[in-house]
Amino acid sequence: MWQQVEVQLPAMHRGFHLITGQVEAALSKMSPVSIGLLHVQLLHTSASLTINENADPSVRRDMEKHFSHMVPEDLPYYEHIYEGSDDMPAHIKASMLGSSLTIPIRDRQLCLGIWQGIYLGEHRDHGGARRIVLTLQGE
Amino acid sequence: MWQQVEVQLPAMHRGFHLITGQVEAALSKMSPVSIGLLHVQLLHTSASLTINENADPSVRRDMEKHFSHMVPEDLPYYEHIYEGSDDMPAHIKASMLGSSLTIPIRDRQLCLGIWQGIYLGEHRDHGGARRIVLTLQGE
Amino acid sequence: MWQQVEVQLPAMHRGFHLITGQVEAALSKMSPVSIGLLHVQLLHTSASLTINENADPSVRRDMEKHFSHMVPEDLPYYEHIYEGSDDMPAHIKASMLGSSLTIPIRDRQLCLGIWQGIYLGEHRDHGGARRIVLTLQGE
């Protein structure tokens, strides 16, 4: 049994944001599976999906600071500069972090560690709404 | 219904290369599915697969420049040096970017954003032909 | 046919460790599939899973050195510091590398390149035992 749904996330400011609740809300509207896999695809190239610590907002702030340190704006060798200083770094961060996740389902729920949550990494200053496609399969 | 096929990509120079067309060509030879997932596994440890911007070649050049900046050759602490200066950085980049992708299928097509394409990251100076295994499942 | 099992890995020192054997041992206890996908989810946010070179231990040592170079401890802008100097860098590395893998199955075996192995990246100094969830589906 395959199910697929597209979800639009509201615009978020630059940085990392917990979206576990939005993913769980979409999952709860699909026919439940006891064992399976949920795949989440972000349809953009200047934002990312990753799993990290779901409790302390300082983790998300430190991630934003350090990814922006590793991938600075306005490096002299960037050629792709006509969409703004934040654009090329956003593409690089998107590939460092990835644009999709595959998450096990156990007992109808996301099977993640107690400290794990789903992050949207918004790497543009004004990225706007972002769309994700959820594909669920299981039994 | 499971389908699996191996594809050999021609040798490419060091840098990032769009291979969306090759993946779509292989997909078109498999029995179509309306909803499903396509998994792509690269069988090498000094190249990578990632999804990024499919339009402007300067994005791919800037990615090559900045990944090579983050992971330089000939660092004094590298021990794994006997396969050439480009080898250890290639391994590190391969893990930063990843060696597989899982892509949703919707209406028999790759379900990607309009700006998303599939990149092969070739991290060796002379990496030679690279092999990928495509595994398709769906209904 | 879906199968899911949880495996506890013994505590490992900080660095990258080959766990291909442990994953293959768990796979061998599941009902075999000729074609399929094995998903491996690490249930932690300060360790990671990645695929890289399975032969020379110096690759794993160089990866540890360079990831710790790219993500140093005690940066002045880290706010999340109360769990130790190694904690925030561990979270960042976990997202750079990823917390899950999806690996094709071909002829009942992991379908990986001859030089590919599965690494656990242990990014804490004393991370303790780590748990992974394996989800297998195929035919």
Percent above pLDDT 70 for chain C: 100
**A38 contact B CB<8A:** no
Task: Please list, in sequence order, all residues whose beta carbon lies within 8 angstroms of the beta carbon of residue B82, skipping any fewer than 6 positions away.
Answer: none
**Contact C79/A at CB under 8 A:** yes
Identity of the residue in B59, B104, B138 whose CB atom sits nearest the CB atom of A91: B59
Mean pLDDT of chain B: 98
Task: Give the C-alpha separation, C42 to C39, whole Å.
Answer: 10
Side-chain-facing half-sphere of A102: CA atoms under 13 Å: 25
* Contact between residue A6 and residue A132 where contact means Cβ atoms under 8 Å apart: yes
Nearest to B39 among C50, C58, C102 (CB): C102
Considering chain A, what is the average pLDDT of its residues?
98
Is A44 in Cβ contact with B113 (below 8 Å)?
A: yes
The mean pLDDT value of chain C amounts to 98
> Which residues of chain B make contact with C98, given a CB cutoff of 8 A?
98
pTM of the predicted model over 0.80:
yes
Residue B46: pLDDT above 90?
A: yes
Q: Cα–Cα distances in Å, from C60 out to A52, A77, B81, C57, C122? A: 23, 31, 13, 5, 11
Indicate if the pLDDT at residue A33 is higher than 90. Answer: yes
pLDDT tops 90 at residue B1:
no
Instruction: List subunits contacting chain A, requiring 3 or more Cβ pairs under 8 Å.
Output: B, C
- Show the tokens assigned to C32: 């075999």
Q: Is the pLDDT of residue B7 over 90?
A: yes
Question: How confident is the model at residue B85, as a pLDDT?
Answer: 98
Structure-block tokens of residue B60: 């791919």
Q: What is the pLDDT of residue A51?
A: 98
A92 — contact with chain B (CB < 8 Å)?
A: yes
Q: Band of the pLDDT at A114, cuts 50, 70, 90?
A: very high
| Residue pairs between chains B and C whose CB atoms are closer than 8 Å | 90
pLDDT at C44 over 90: yes
Please say if the pLDDT value at position C136 is more than 90. yes
Q: Which residues in chain B have their CB less than 8 angstroms from residue C97's CB?
A: 95-96
| Alpha carbon distances (Å) from C54 to B91, C16, C98, C113, C114 | 11, 11, 18, 10, 8
Instruction: Write the single-letter amino acid at C128.
Output: G
CA B29, B30, B35, B36 dihedral sign is negative
**Distance (Å) from the C-alpha of residue B44 to the closest C-alpha of chain A?**
18
